């Protein structure tokens, strides 16, 4: 089905973004309080959440939705606190 293919592709991209953020953080190329790390997490979790929604897999909708909200909270906190997160 076309919808299954689209959900798989969207989910794959989302998970790839999440894994890239994690890997880059582990090898110390991105800091966990950096803009790029937070945006990669927000984008990746949002895509994975949407993909899970498309296939009606609600446990992952919850997991990825909360992950995206936490990332969004980190971005908002950095924007409104007056302090700038790390560049990388």
| 88 part of a folded domain | no
Task: Indicate the pTM of the whole model.
Answer: 0.89
User: Are 39 and 69 a contacting pair, CB within 8 Å?
Assistant: no
| 7 part of a folded domain | yes
| 36 part of a folded domain | yes
Q: How many domains does the chain have?
A: 1
| 57 part of a folded domain | yes
- Sort 4 into a burial class: Cβ within 10 Å, 0-12 / 13-18 / 19+: exposed
| 59 part of a folded domain | yes
| 23 part of a folded domain | yes
Owning domain of residue 72? 2-80
Residue-by-residue pLDDT tens, the chain, 88 positions: 558 999 999 999 999 999 999 999 999 999 999 999 999 999 999 999 999 999 999 999 999 999 999 999 999 998 998 665 555 5
pLDDT at 2: 59
| 71 part of a folded domain | yes
């Amino acid at each position: 089905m076309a919808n299954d293919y689209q959900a798989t592709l969207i989910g794959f991209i989302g998970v790839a973004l999440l894994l890239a953020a994690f890997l880059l953080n582990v090898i110390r190329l991105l800091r966990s309080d950096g803009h790029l790390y937070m945006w990669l997490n927000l984008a990746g979790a949002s895509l994975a959440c949407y993909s899970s929604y498309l296939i009606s897999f609600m446990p992952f909708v919850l997991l990825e939705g909360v992950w995206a909200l936490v990332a969004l909270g980190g971005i908002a906190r950095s924007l409104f606190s007056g302090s700038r997160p790390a560049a990388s």
